[in-house]
Structure 1
Amino acid sequence: MPDASSSSTSWPTSIVDEARLDDLLSTPTPAAVEALRRLPGDVIVLGVAGKMGPTLARMVRRAADEAGTPRRVIGVSRFSEPAHQAALQAVGVETIRCDLLDEAAVAALPDAPNVIYMAGRKFGSTGVESLTWAMNTWLPAVVCKRYAASRIAAFSTGNVYGLTAAGRGGSREDDTPAPVGEYAMSCLGRERMFEHFSRTHGTPVSILRLNYATEMRYGLLVDLARKVMAGTPIDLAMGYFNVIWQGDANGMAIASLLHASSPPYVVNLAGPEELTVRAVCAAFGERFSRPPVLVGAEAPDALLSNGAKGWRDLGAPRVPLAQLIDWTADWVARGGASLGKPTHFESRDGRF
């Protein structure tokens, strides 16, 4: 398997604990610093308490400080776990408790010329589809009306493309969406809401199709490593995938604010390799000294994204694949913390 683009960054051989992990995930990329150097004004992160939000907000804070551009960085969430709110405040991110499905509460949020939209619903979508649609399609319309005069970077997902043939470089931004299942369809609906209000209000928007972010506590590499470590059978049907270090995805998302436009700028956030489940599991098997238990055979297609546009515009990924595998294997072998949120990447019918 080829490695990601090389970098002059010196990475540790092991990530010793969550504090060091969060520090690495929030280390600003040059493109993020440059974007905030050129874009004045406060930044508000909506849905900040999710898997990526805390380290992204912290990177915004650090990048703004490095750029020498004083501003407020504000994180908005329900904060069902108070510790997440306190941790953000400790690193200079202001926090606001808000149920984003409360339209009046959204209207009362502070003005900010720069918005990063991270709210959404995926897991548990089956059986409560109406809430998934409300979160993924209605809420973006509420936010677009509230922040019509702002610049918005909006997270989406590579699921909007549907499955694409392996070995052809992955889906590109100008491919026709073909979402499979209600979750993916609702995510395309989210994009269409941002597009509609961008076109009608002139709001500059960037739409970020992420596929897949990974760090040590969750992500597709973690899912595979834990299964190999436990001897759990691994289905090969969804046999190909992309991953990107979450810190690199954070930096690209921030940098995308500089490219926001009307109609929206659409970009994939994806790693540079088309990986195979078989080869990655073999790599973990070598590190754990136990062979993976593989079942079935690879289908000819998978959820794959081509990230070339993003690497060109927003900065190439800094952390190579071999480093990600080493870090993940070391973390899992040492019993490192887990968010307990499997990706369900193996789903081929769009049901989550």
Structure 2
Amino acid sequence: MLLTRDSLPDTISDIAALDDLLCRPSQALVDDLRKVDGDIMILGVAGKMGPTLAGLAKATLPDRRVIGVARFSDGRARAWLDARGIETIACDLLDETAIEALPKVQNIVFMAGRKFGAEGGLSLTWAMNTHVPALIAQAFWESRIVAFSTGCVYPFVPVTGKGADESVPPNPPGEYAQSCVGRERMFEYFSRKFATPGRLFRLNYAIDMRYGVLHDIATKILGGKPIDVSLGHVNFIWQGDASAQALRCLAHCDRPTSPINVSGQDILAVRDLAEKLGARLARKPTIVGTEEPTAWVTDTSQAVSLFGPPVVDTEQLIAWTADWVARSMPSLGKPTKYEVRDGRY
């Protein structure tokens, strides 16, 4: 069954139902990927979002090879992918020889990188976020490359506007975000050198029921913990929509590669989100702090013009999250740290 707004469930019963929903393609995704020749290889597939993207790609293109590459230090991700017909290759992307041995496919989605714990080992953060992209960009110069980046490459912008669009020069706080600028510059440099088509996928907060800004807020409400609204505005997108837009970017690559912002259309107040979640959870949220006039928010007009609005809207995400958290369903245990303003993760 194809994904449409009318087909969305009222509740997501369990992880299996969540995975099935995340990996359900829309007609628009089917149409765009039919324009793209060749197989798809996803580098860094074992992260939070990688299995969703790989599963969605395979569900959309069941007759093509979808290859997932990672170290696979946790075997569960590999088993999940294998069960869905996705080829898996164990590879350390810091090993140039191992990279050269990977199959040369026409479509690369680059998802490798380091964020969580970035401040604990900054040299590794820079190596993963800048050195590895340089290796990949050279090894796959004849492929299309959609490279995951982040809205954190932008400076903070006023929350009264539309957010930072792609014309705003990167100028972020903190070494993690600076290393993400470095990642983009490596792909941009080699795209210019080799005329490699690509996109720099600047994503703000892909969420599912086990992770994300809404999950962070909802769990704090249930736990009676204060919600700091100093960084008081965010935008985010359903992980299934983000994965679909990343795959659709393969049909919308530029020479040289160019950035595209991906998130929800609306800039949302954390205070309002807390109130809505609190009403559904029958708990009054404890709000602390005062909203700053700026935040890390992006203008997604370009993505909307290419792909249309996300299938899953904010109100649906609030309803699903409150229901999931109220039932004490599983969490990935990885806070987004959306409230951080100094770039230290």
- The alignment's TM-score, normalised by the length of structure 2, stands at 0.97
Q: Alpha-carbon deviation of 1:296?
A: 1.0
Q: Matched residues in 2 for 1:199 and 1:270: separation?
A: 27
- Match of residue 233 from structure 1: 226
The whole-number CA distance in structure 2 between the counterparts of 1:262 and 1:47 is: 24
**Equivalent residue, structure 2, for 1:21:** 18
Cα root mean square deviation, aligned? 1.0
Contact 1:31–1:252 under 8 Å retained in 2: no
- The answer to whether the 8 Å contact 1:181/1:349 transfers is yes
Q: Which residue matches 1:250?
A: 243
Could you tell me the percent identity over the aligned residues? 51
Shift of 1:9: 2.9
Superposition deviation, residue 272 in structure 1: 1.2
User: Deviation per CA, 1:244-280, whole angstroms, max 9, x where unpaired?
Assistant: 0010000000000111121113110110111011000
Whole-angstrom distance in 1 between the partners of 2:40 and 2:308: 21
Deviation readout 1:56-82 (Å, 9 max, x if unpaired)? 0011001113xxxx3210000111111
Counterpart amino acid of residue 170 in structure 1:
G
Compared with structure 1, are the counterparts of its residues 114 and 46 closer, same or farther at alpha carbon in structure 2 (3 Å cutoff)? same
User: 1:234 offset after TM fit, Å?
Assistant: 1.0
Say if 2:183 is the partner of 1:190: yes
2:5 touches 2:312 (CA, 8 Å); kept in 1? no
1:259 aligns with 2:256: no
Q: Would the aligned equivalents of 2:70 and 2:92 in 1 still touch at CA under 8 Å?
A: yes
Task: Quote the Cα distance in structure 1 between the aligned partners of 2:147 and 2:265.
Answer: 22
Tell me which of 263, 267, 270 is aligned to 1:274.
267
CA gap 1:8/1:332 in 2 versus in 1, 3 angstroms: closer
* CA drift at 1:34: 1.7
Partner of 2:283 in structure 1? 290
| Cα deviation code 1:216-264 (max 9, x no counterpart) | 0101110011001111011110000001001000000000011112111
Partner of residue 207 from structure 1, selected from 200, 220, 238: 200
Corresponding residue for residue 60 of structure 2: 63
User: RCO higher in 1 or 2 (8 Å CA, sep ≥ 6)?
Assistant: 1
Where does structure 1 lack aligned partners over 5 or more consecutive residues? 1-6
Q: Please, which runs of 5 or more residues in structure 2 have no aligned partner?
A: none
2:326 to 322, 333, 349: 333
Native 8 Å contact 2:198 2:254 kept in 1: yes
* Kept in 2: contact 1:9–1:318 (CA 8 A): no
Report how many aligned residue pairs link the two structures: 342
Distance in 2 (CA, whole Å) between partners of 1:159 and 1:54 is: 23
Aligned residue in 2 for 1:4:
none
CA distance in 2, matches of 1:137, 1:9: 42
Question: How far has the Cα of 1:284 moved from its partner?
Answer: 1.0
**The residue matched to 1:95 in structure 2 has which SS?**
strand
Q: Provide the C-alpha distance between the structure 1 equivalents of 2:84 and 2:101, rounded to a whole number of angstroms.
A: 24
TM-score by length of 1: 0.95
